[in-house]
Chain A
Amino acid sequence: MFRNFFILAVSICTAGSLFALPDHDEKTARKIISGHISDAESGESLIGATLLVKELGVGTVSNSYGFYSIAVPAGTYTLVSSYIGYHDFEKEMDLSKSQRLEIGLMPESEELEEIQVLGERKDQNITQVEMGVEKLQTKTIKSIPALMGEVDLIKAIQLLPGVHSTAEGGSGFSVRGGSPDQNLILLDEATVYNASHLMGFFSVFNNDAIKDLKLYKGDVPAQYGGRLASLLDVRMKDGNAKKFEGTGGIGTISSRLTLEGPLKEDQTTLLLSGRRTYMDLFMPLASEEEVKDSRLYFYDASLKLSHRFNENNRLFVSAYLGRDVMRSEFFQIGFGNKTLTARWNHIFNQKLFMNLTAVWSRYDYELGTPEDEPDSWIWESDLEDLGLKADFGYYITPEHSLKFGLQSFHHAFNPGMAMGVGDQSFFGEYLVGKNYALEHAGYLSHQHQLGDKLVMKYGVRVSLFQNIGKGTVYDYDDNYAVVDSTTYASGEVYQNYWGVEPRFGINYLVAPDWSIKFNYNRSQQTIQQASNSAAGSPLDIWFPASPNIKPQLADQFALGVFRNFQNDWYQASVEVYYKDMQNTIDFADHADLLLNKYLEGELRVGDSRAYGAEFLLKKTEGNLTGWLGYTLSRTERTIPEINNGKTYVAPFDKTHDISTVLNYRLNRRVSLSANWIYSTGQPVTLPVQRYEINGTVLPYYSERNGARYDDYHRLDLALTLQGRNKRNRAWSGEWVFSIYNAYSRKNTWALNFVQDTENPTETYAEKTYLFPIIPAVTYNFKF
């Protein structure tokens, strides 16, 4: 591990010094303009803001840290920087020599918006080469009606084309038919292994502490890998660098508070954010003894510290802690994520940007019963990551830019340990057995502008996955019975899997307002989740590739047409994709996935494929904003030992999926929002015959996922009332009234076939539905 880090560190320094050679731009007459783009009021850096050199018609985009750089021939130019929700910044500059320019964009305030005639071009969707990428602003997320008023970015993502929820009200999401464990969820570069609170009904992210999120549905940058379906890149706010401020809310089930401000103006900023649910605080009032002593809550807390040493060096430290606790008289469970990231941004010279990241992440759970019973026990499981990454951006000319880097991760898996506790317990100790892995990768990606119509992006990611001791590997026979085992010594590498993952994208600008894009993407997944239920539970464990399990592979091809209308107020797109996957994992019938040493014997491996078309019409400006998305898709698996080898639809397949998200601003203080979702019911396996043994009626099934639940649809509404803004008062507040499932549709959550207790020869179908109409009130404030 440490040796790898050492090698990595040496490589980084070498790479850095290579590119840090003196600039030859003075001679070649190329001048560089570089700097950061940030919010002028808070100092928060802006990700993906554009800088356009008007006269040349060339431009660049700020990176994840707000940094930009562009090299142009010497001359005097008009520079325009823009970002959605901000006023354009325009400046004429004499570039007879290279210069730094720190750009601050003014946010569009509500009053100003009304007199604004037409916004400037927001046509990144057309000009950028990336596709299958969805960006959501926290402001948009906030305006979407939410379950119990809890603003939730994952629920917002589920409303995008190609993305849907895996179960009613759940925060698991499926991207282009993939399983939830095929999504890489990063919070400030740290992997979040379980993104849900409270059995999946809420996600772990507190919107107030989030700056930006981006979902890559296919075109995952070469910098990232390890998952087949998507990358959800969530970035925490840096905190206000100019003044102290607080935001918060008092909601129906939880309250939250975020404090941010400069410790030293424009140099060191701190952000602290916390949230806790409080339904359990009412439990002591309950009349029932059992409820009284029960606890059911979750909390999360985040911290971010940013420090600017000088214009070339910045340091960011972010930490996240979230926990769910459920406790009753005879049982308790706790689970949660912890992440810690330290990043150092270094600008070697105006063209070469580096970010060095050290990251630690952990997910764990523990559960148990009270001691001193004959069957008292505890059970624990955890997963811990430690990694180092070095990422470089090299902005050669406006036509050429390179991204490259190296990364190395150490994973420690403790799939489960259970033991009896106390003198009386008859349970022994059961260890599934820890195991370890290393994951290294290097990547290089080149963005190349050919003329003013064609942009290409090509790159490759080379990865090496290594299982290392100490660990035990079991050998299985053709019937998945264990025949032998081998134990490897600590540090011994017992399996290597190399992966070469090409990434390619091309954008052809047909006209200024429309473009055609194509991309191809290969990805490899070496860590996956043992979960065969729709919604997943906090107990589902992650397990690595091994001598018995080959990495999963996906090749995705996508083609899209993007067109904007009416000065970019309307954005429309159509994307089609085809994804071919190998070594897809499914599970044996009635698989035993928890606390099982022989988990690998429960896996069944085959192939799968997904294809579909995604239509999106979005309105970004004006009083009415929102989008309409429609997805037509199919995902299917062929696994020899499942469904008699016949192809069956994947558990998250949805033929039709419509999402409508609308926000209408009635006036300065009142806005209304609504979303309506319609989708084909999820696949289900239904019995065709019954048989009786000793009076119990048992089902006989013919085809896996051969039928579907009823169609799913739901309408949610919200009304936001802003308090009167007084210029001399810092406090501003707003009320949000929301209704989830406004027409109380009884969408199927579970379907059971039940034998009538009164009349045992009779069986009937019974559906379970959650959440009839649920109203909620939230008060949000800012000071």
Chain B
Amino acid sequence: MKRKHILFYLLIGTLLFSCTERVDFELDEAGEPRLVVFGEITSDTMAHAVSLSKSAPYFYNQPPQMVSDAQLTLFDGVESIVLSEDPERPGVYLTPNDYSGVVGRSYRLDIAGVDINADGEAETYYAETEMRATAPVHGVGVVYNASWDGWEVGVFSQDPSETEDYYLFKIYRNGVLYTDSIHNYRVVDDRFFNGNEITGAYVQYFDEEKDEIVEEGDTITLEMAGITKAYHDFIVGVNIETGPKAPLFSGPPANIPGNISNGALGFFAVMEVARGSTVYNGAVVHD
């Protein structure tokens, strides 16, 4: 978290001189499409979704092709359930309405009956993970930071000292998930605050320049989830690969490390979530 800020400032110094321009690029042969899996199962009781789609050549520039008619089963060490495809949304598979994840359990998702490479033979895929506990959300704070034009959402919590913990933060404005796109997910590991009380550190934001506006009286909900290291690394990978690259500090681009077998892309995650809300009172800092 910390480090990203620094890189940001270092970048500013350089970008004083720089210009950007769109360029056309011939890319290599794309190769066979791959299965893309994404699903998050939480401790909430609800129908959780797993979506299946296909990868495409890089400049395909169309919505992804969804993968229908697959058989998905989820085993949590105790019971096995079958996910059924949402009739409204092809390629989206749902757990029963009364399903919820349980902290400490190991999960395995099996996918069968798909033929992504169109060779006439069905392939099978699986993903394994576990459900980690989250830390409690004791409180949430929202302030407008005038020095960079955006609203910072801070959390009050207590990190347990005996474990290495990884957290995922999402924010809702008036009950609507604001960070609905995965590149807006923020993750953090407890390396720099293990076992400490967290007193309002800012973990998510609304960027005014992108018209993400918070008004006085809006209810802001912060969702904090305990995730595995593998999911943390996946989100970090997403942030790196969707963020700007500069020769000063960016390493070579690399594939985002997922947890699906057989060369498929994406991630299947299970997590405990905790939430806290506050009403924005118009507070401003660094004015």
Q: B42-99: which have CB < 8 Å to A?
A: 53-64
Residue in B5, B33, B181, B233 whose beta carbon sits within 8 Å of that of A689 in the complex: B33
Residue of chain B at shortest CB distance from A707: B28
In the complex, the number of residue pairs spanning A and B with C-beta atoms less than 8 Å apart equals: 238
Question: What chain B residues lie within 8 Å of A328 (beta carbons)?
Answer: 9
Distance in Å: Cβ of A530 to nearest Cβ of chain B: 11
Given contacts A296-B13, A698-B256, contact A533 B18 (CB under 8 A): no
Residue of A687, A692, A699 contacting most chain B CB atoms (<10 Å) = A692
Complex Cα distance A296/B210, Å? Answer: 29
CB atoms of B6 and A331 under 8 A apart = yes
Interface flags for A382-419 (1: CB within 8 Å of B; 0: not) read 00000000000000000000000000000000000010
Instruction: Tell me, yes or no, whether A534 is within 8 Å of chain B by CB.
Output: yes
Task: Determine how close the nearest CB of chain B comes to the CB of A580; give it in whole angstroms.
Answer: 23
In this complex, what residue of A is CB-closest to B8? A331
Closest to A279 in B: B16
B22 touching A167, Cβ below 8 Å = no
**Distance in Å: Cβ of B10 to nearest Cβ of chain A:** 6
Q: What CA separation (Å) do A348 and B183 show in the bound complex?
A: 70
Most buried by A among B22, B25, B38, B200: B25
Q: How many residues of B contact A (CB 8 A)?
A: 83
Q: Which of A274-332 contact B (CB under 8 A)?
A: 290, 296, 326, 328-331
Q: How far is the CA of A535 from the CA of B233 in the complex (A)?
A: 25
Question: Contact at A167–B247, with CB atoms within 8 Å?
Answer: yes
Contact between B199 and A539, CB atoms less than 8 A apart? no
User: Would A770 and B249 be within 8 Å (CB), given that A428-B195, A590-B236 are in contact?
Assistant: no
Task: Find out whether the CB atom of A686 lies under 8 angstroms from the CB atom of B201.
Answer: no
Q: Which residues of chain A are within 8 angstroms of B286 by Cβ–Cβ distance?
A: 329-330
Q: Is B118 an interface residue (CB 8 A)?
A: no
B216 interface residue, CB < 8 Å from A? no
Distance between Cα atoms of A199 and B180 in the complex (Å): 36
A292 to chain B, nearest CB (A): 13
- Is A367's beta carbon under 8 Å from chain B? yes
| Known A367-B6, A768-B246: A199·B13 in contact at CB below 8 Å | yes
The answer to whether A700 and B255 touch across the interface, beta carbons within 8 angstroms, is yes
Q: How far is the CA of A254 from the CA of B156 in the complex (A)?
A: 47
Q: Which of A703, A706, A763 is the one whose CB lies under 8 Å from B58?
A: A763
Query: A750, B2: Cβ atoms under 8 Å?
Result: no
Residues of B within 8 A of A200 (CB): 248
The answer on a CB contact under 8 Å between A590 and B36 is no
Say whether A128 faces chain B, with CB atoms less than 8 Å apart: no
Chain A contacts for B195, CB-based, 8 A: 428
**Contact indicator B60/A690 (Cβ below 8 Å):** yes
A765 and B147 form a contact (CB under 8 A)? no
B120 within 8 A of A: no
Q: Are B31 and A689 neighbours in the complex by a CB distance under 8 Å? A: yes
What string of 1s and 0s marks CB contacts (under 8 Å) between A693-712 and chain B?
11110111111111100000
* B199-228 residues at the A interface, CB under 8 angstroms: 199-202, 210
Q: Out of A199, A428, A687, A767, name the residue touching B193 (CB < 8 Å).
A: A428
A537-B28 in contact (CB<8A): no
Across the two chains, which residue of chain A brings its CB closest to B40?
A694
Q: Do residues A768 and B31 form an inter-chain contact, with CB atoms below 8 A?
A: no
Min CB–CB distance B17 → chain A (angstroms):
5
Residue A536, interface by CB 8 Å: yes
Besides A533-B248, A535-B247, A691-B266, 7 more A-B contacts (Cβ < 8 Å) are: A375-B202, A428-B195, A688-B28, A692-B64, A699-B241, A766-B21, A769-B19
List residues of chain A with CB under 8 Å of any chain B CB.
166-168, 170, 198-200, 290, 296, 326, 328-331, 333, 367, 374-375, 377, 379, 418, 420, 424, 426-428, 430, 532-537, 539, 587, 589-591, 594-595, 651, 685-696, 698-707, 746, 749-753, 755, 757, 761-772
Selected A-B contacts with CB under 8 Å, 8 pairs: A377-B192, A693-B238, A704-B252, A706-B28, A751-B25, A752-B244, A761-B61, A766-B20
7 closest cross-chain pairs (CB), A and B: A589-B254, A532-B251, A534-B247, A535-B247, A691-B55, A167-B247, A374-B200
